[in-house]
Amino acid sequence: MAAVPADQASRTEAEQAVAAVDDEAIRLRTAVKSRDGFFTTYCISPYSRYIARWCARRGLTPNQVTTASLITALIAAGCAATGTRGGYVAAGVLLLLSFVLDCTDGQLARYSLQYSTMGAWLDATFDRAKEYAYYAGLALGAIRGGDDVWALALGAMVLQTCRHVVDFSFNEANHDATGNTSPTAALSDKLDSVGWTVWVRRMIVLPIGERWAMIAVLTAVTTPRIVFYALLIGCAFAACYTTAGRVLRSLTRRATRTDRAAQALADLADSGPLAEFVAKVQAKGRTAAPVVAGFAAVLLLATVVVAPFGDWRVIVVAVAYAMLSGFAVSRPLKGSLDWLLPPFFRIAEYCTVLVLAAKADVPGALPAAFGLVAAVAYHHYDTVYRIKGGTGAPPNWLVRAVGGHEGRTLVVAVLAALSTTLDFPLALTVLAVVIALVVLAESIRFWVSSGAPAVHDEGETA
């Protein structure tokens, strides 16, 4: 409410109050997000905001800073790939510098009010590209030192991506819901009133700031194997913590899923032509979607782990997995736990590739599998950011062209069974390149088009 000065003294006092406002201090303060992690809030933002101002005064754009952050991270990955102690130290320092620039680009955008569609796309995708490229650099460096950690690198990428899928699916399932009145949510609100618990709960999920700081320090002082062990343990604990909390909230919440939320979950499921065909046949039936999807994933992974590499029974089970995944999505995904379907499908697909590549026990299989999962993960992240922007999932022809999760899983199973007559690592590499080219071409076309939404991933801490 505005106050109208009644006399000259009041007017003078009001003018002095307005003049006392430090506009620059306000711009610097509002350039920083209010819900960042502990490491970002206390170790990066106190000075990165001034870097953002320095960039603004020299005419630099957020996109240029984002690109500089990517280049810095790629150089860090290259240093890690040398396999020397000096290279590891340099990699750790450069990774932290990349994170500083990553914080700076968003602060620069808020400070100078420069938002763009291209900037949204760059900011939404480069974080994952930087982190996963760094994993690959560590794996290459370990090889130079005589230690093969490609399986750990791929496992870390799978775990981190699946964590994000859990976040995205849960949030989209509850996108249009009213306030959560469940007992679990009430407890969370009570804990928010106790200051120190807020920071503990933000740190315990190992957000990007804490995670990159841990990776950087461990890279400099230990070995890639220890880095991945720590990363897997920390991310696994964080995944269990967040997933358990969200399951409890879902079970105790009384809310109806909207058609938009159900469609978003169906899009995140990434069902291909095989699952779509089964879903149409089963359209009039009733299914407990999370139970069916979970059972399908467990059945597939158990078979892949137990059966010898190249066993044709894996193909039979992969076909059964495709059918069961179709049953799971045959009805609108409006159940309280239906948001678990996309994570179940990601775990099944990614881990199938990981296990088969590890069991192949041939040079190049795991690096090729790393590339394949990276290409598919990009497709899944791209789907998420489009849905968040309100434009829906990628076009159906693209999902069909890359096979859907069940189609790709079946193809990898067939390639493993044919490994006696073809080069399995080469086959995985070709598959990865084809998927990457198709997905990237369509994604770039979409994000640089005038109709693409300006989505900023500034609220995600993971």
447 lies in a domain?
A: yes
Helices (H) and strands (E) in the chain, counts: 21, 0
Q: What is the pLDDT of residue 462?
A: 45
Q: Which residue has the higher pLDDT, 378 or 188?
A: 378
Q: Rank 107-121, 173-187, 415-429 by mean pLDDT and report only the highest.
A: 415-429
406 lies in a domain?
A: yes
**Residue 146 predicted with pLDDT over 70:** yes
CB 265 within 8 A of CB 169: yes
Domain count, the chain: 1
Q: What is the pLDDT of residue 202?
A: 84
Q: Is 453 exposed, middle or buried (0-12, 13-18, 19+ CB in 10 A)?
A: middle
Instruction: Give per-residue pLDDT as tens, 409-427.
Output: 999 999 999 998 999 999 9
Instruction: Give per-residue pLDDT as tens, 219-246.
Output: 999 999 999 999 999 999 999 999 999 9
28 lies in a domain?
A: no
36 lies in a domain?
A: no
Measured from the Cβ of residue 4, the count of other Cβ atoms closer than 10 Å reads 7
**Residue 24 predicted with pLDDT over 70:** yes
Instruction: Give per-residue pLDDT as tens, 186-217.
Output: 555 555 555 667 778 888 999 999 999 999 99
pLDDT average, residue stretch 79-90: 98
pLDDT average, residue stretch 283-311: 90
Question: Band of the pLDDT at 181, cuts 50, 70, 90?
Answer: low
HSE toward the beta carbon, residue 185, CA cutoff 13 A: 11
372 lies in a domain?
A: yes
450 lies in a domain?
A: yes
393 lies in a domain?
A: yes
**Residue 319 predicted with pLDDT over 70:** yes
pLDDT average, residue stretch 356-366: 96
Q: What stretch of H or E contains 106? A: helix 85-112
CB 341 within 8 A of CB 295: no
Q: Two tokens at 95?
A: 């990774």
Q: Three-state secondary structure along 359-401?
A: HHCCCCHHHHHHHHHHHHHHHHHHHHHHHHCCCCCCCHHHHHH
**Residue 297 predicted with pLDDT over 50:** yes
Q: Which residue has the higher pLDDT, 389 or 301?
A: 301
Q: What is the pLDDT of residue 459?
A: 42
Please name which of 328, 308, 340 lies closest in space to residue 417, comparing C-alpha atoms: 308
37 lies in a domain?
A: no
Please name which of 305, 426, 418, 416 lies closest in space to residue 371, comparing C-alpha atoms: 426
Q: What is the pLDDT of residue 286?
A: 63
Q: Which domain holds residue 311?
A: 259-455
Q: What is the CATH number of the domain that holds 398?
A: 1.20.120
